[in-house]
Amino acid sequence: MNSLPDPSSTEEIPPSSVAALADDIAAGKVVLVDCRETDEWSICHLPGARLVPLSEFPGSALSLIESGVPCVVYCHHGMRSLRATRWLRAQGLHACFSMSGGIDRWSVEIDPDLPRY
């Protein structure tokens, strides 16, 4: 598994680090969570991502906590995903990170063909 940083050292990781986790995400060793809303998901989303809207997080994210699998959360610009990451960590899922800059930064740095909005 590609290594995630020590959770005590950071809450965020850049899109390049998330891209490097593609094999681990595909293998289920890391969960990629999109915390945007359904209408945003329909515009674009990252391969292998699981939609868990922030508005539904307390109920819908329980399976993430119970699984104990490390996760990376993203949103549009990184603010909602940081809130979601902090909530997950407070619930005991410490190996959880927010993708800094969100899907917008991903579209600039990793995949310029991904629609921006």
**Residue 57 maps to a domain:** yes
**Residue 87 maps to a domain:** yes
**Residue 4 maps to a domain:** no
Residue 86 token pair: 């902090």
Q: Which of 1-5, 19-23, 48-52 has the lowest average pLDDT?
A: 1-5
**Residue 117 maps to a domain:** no
Domain count of the fold of the chain: 1
Backbone angles phi, psi at 106, to 5 degrees: -55, -45
**Residue 115 maps to a domain:** no
Q: Residue 13: what residue type?
A: I
Tell me how far apart the alpha carbons of residues 77 and 67 are, in angstroms, rounded to a whole number. 26
**Residue 17 maps to a domain:** yes
Q: Is 57 left (phi over 0), alpha (psi -120 to 50) or beta?
A: alpha
Q: Which domain holds residue 58?
A: 12-109
Q: What is the pTM of this model?
A: 0.94
Mean pLDDT confidence for 100-105: 98
Mean pLDDT confidence for 83-90: 96
CATH of the domain at 22: 3.40.250.10
Tell me how far apart the terminal alpha carbons of the chain are, to the nearest angstrom. Answer: 33
pLDDT at position 79 is 97
**Residue 60 maps to a domain:** yes
Given a cut of 80, whether residue 2 has pLDDT beyond it is no
Per the prediction, the chain carries an average pLDDT of 95
For residue 18, give the nearest of 69, 72, 81 by alpha carbon.
Answer: 72
